[in-house]
Amino acid sequence: MPELPEVETVLRGLAPTLVGQTIAAVTVRQPALRIPVPAILSQLLPGQTVAAISRRGKYLIFQLDSGWLICHLGMSGSLRIVPRDTPATVHDHVDLALQDHLLRYRDPRRFGLIAWTTQDPLAHPLLASLGPEPLSDAFDGAVLHKLVNPCRSPIKTVLMDSHRVVGVGNIYASESLFRAGIHPATVSRDLTRRRCKHLADAIRATLTEAIAAGGSSLRDFVHSDGNLGYFQQQYFVYGRTGEACRVCGTPIQRSVMAQRATYFCPACQPLAGADRPVEDSGKR
């Protein structure tokens, strides 16, 4: 599933080619995505120019002359720019024809979506209740503490709830918790402000590095035929069950939380409990 860094990289890859281009035609081969592709698009979009592309969480927002296209890549979606005469294959559901290129939406599992709005896209029902952007200036330890403090659920599950904070999916939740030295099963309300600051910093660092890694593969991505995939990164814990922790050498453990595989180092991320004093319990 594309996560925030992948979507940010898609945005950065598409923007230089797309912004300023006028849409000549729209082809919808398969409208049955997570929500149906509006039939009106093929009449509405031709002649409109792409003024800007932005991102909110994992949604891409294309600003056109008379409204906004909102796109989510779901589990397996990709957006590619291909030459205009490129034949479509079975999962290429939507094409926007530009002057020389096609913007092609491909989605084998069809959990993605393309929506249209003429109102403020940030107020659209899909986006209105999303949590803060972890890479924005407004996100810090105090904000994170306020968001997670009411929750009795494990911190990893809360981090992955896009209504609390957007863009921290399974991989980056595990990686951020490792960097912050927080066990993924820690009860959210038990996290102090200080540990929330460490966690907010870790989330920001993890996502920023992933975006930087994505930037180096941008050219390949935009012109390639394959699915989005994940960037080649050296993870600390994700997918490393039984391998040595890169910091202390302890074997990485795997557990399942809220049906998602969760990875952690039991030594670097101790679960605060009866056998171990909570290191900063007086500073809540």
Catalytic residues: 2-3, 58, 260
Is 268 a binder of Zn ion (CB under 5 A)? yes
Nearer to Zn ion, 22 or 253 (CB): 253
For residue 54, what is the DSSP state?
A: E
The residue with tokens 């898609």 is 10
Name the residue among 161, 156, 186 with its Cα closest to residue 173.
156
Alpha-carbon distance 189 to 234, whole Å?
31
Determine, following the binding rule CB under 5 A, whether residue 244 of this chain makes contact with Zn ion: no
Residues that bind Zn ion (rule: CB under 5 A) add up to a total of 7
The stretch near Zn ion (CB under 5 A) out of 59-67, 83-91, 208-216, 262-270 is 262-270
How does strand 52-56 pair with strand 101-106?
unpaired
Interaction of residue 73 with Zn ion, rule CB under 5 A: no
Which of 70, 245, 257, 272 forms a contact with Zn ion (CB under 5 A)?
245
Q: Are 237 and 252 in contact (CB under 8 A)?
A: yes
Task: Considering only the stretches 31-39, 112-120, 219-227, 264-272, report the one whose residues sit in contact with Zn ion under the rule CB under 5 A.
Answer: 264-272
Decide: is 267 part of the binding site for Zn ion (CB under 5 A): yes
Mark 204-243 with x for binding to Zn ion (rule: CB under 5 A) and - for no binding.
----------------------------------------
Nearest distance, CB of residue 180 and Zn ion, angstroms: 13
Minimum CB distance to Zn ion smaller for 65 or for 279: 279
For the four alpha carbons of 180, 184, 186 and 190, in that order, the dihedral sign comes to positive
CB 179 within 8 Å of CB 264: no
Q: Taking the complex as a whole, how short is the minimal distance between the CB of residue 119 and Zn ion, in angstroms?
A: 48
Q: Tell whether residue 199 is a contact of Zn ion (CB under 5 A).
A: no
| The binder of Zn ion chosen from 248, 251, 273, 278 (CB under 5 A) | 248
User: How far are the Cα atoms of 11, 26, 105, 223 from residue 85, in angstroms, in the given order?
Assistant: 23, 14, 15, 14
Among the listed ranges 104-112, 183-191, 200-208, 266-274, the one in contact with Zn ion (CB under 5 A) is 266-274
Nearer to Zn ion, 62 or 235 (CB): 235
The one among 14, 155, 265, 272 contacting Zn ion by CB under 5 A: 265
Long-range residue pairs from 17-20, CB within 8 A, at least 24 positions apart, any chain: 17/81, 17/101, 17/222, 18/50, 18/53, 18/62, 18/81, 18/98, 18/103, 19/50, 19/51, 19/52, 19/53, 20/49, 20/50
Residue with the closest Cβ to Zn ion?
245
User: Residue 202 pairs with which residues in a beta bridge?
Assistant: none
When asked if residue 252 is in the footprint of Zn ion (CB under 5 A), the reply is no
Residues interacting with Zn ion, by CB under 5 A? 245, 247-248, 250, 265, 267-268
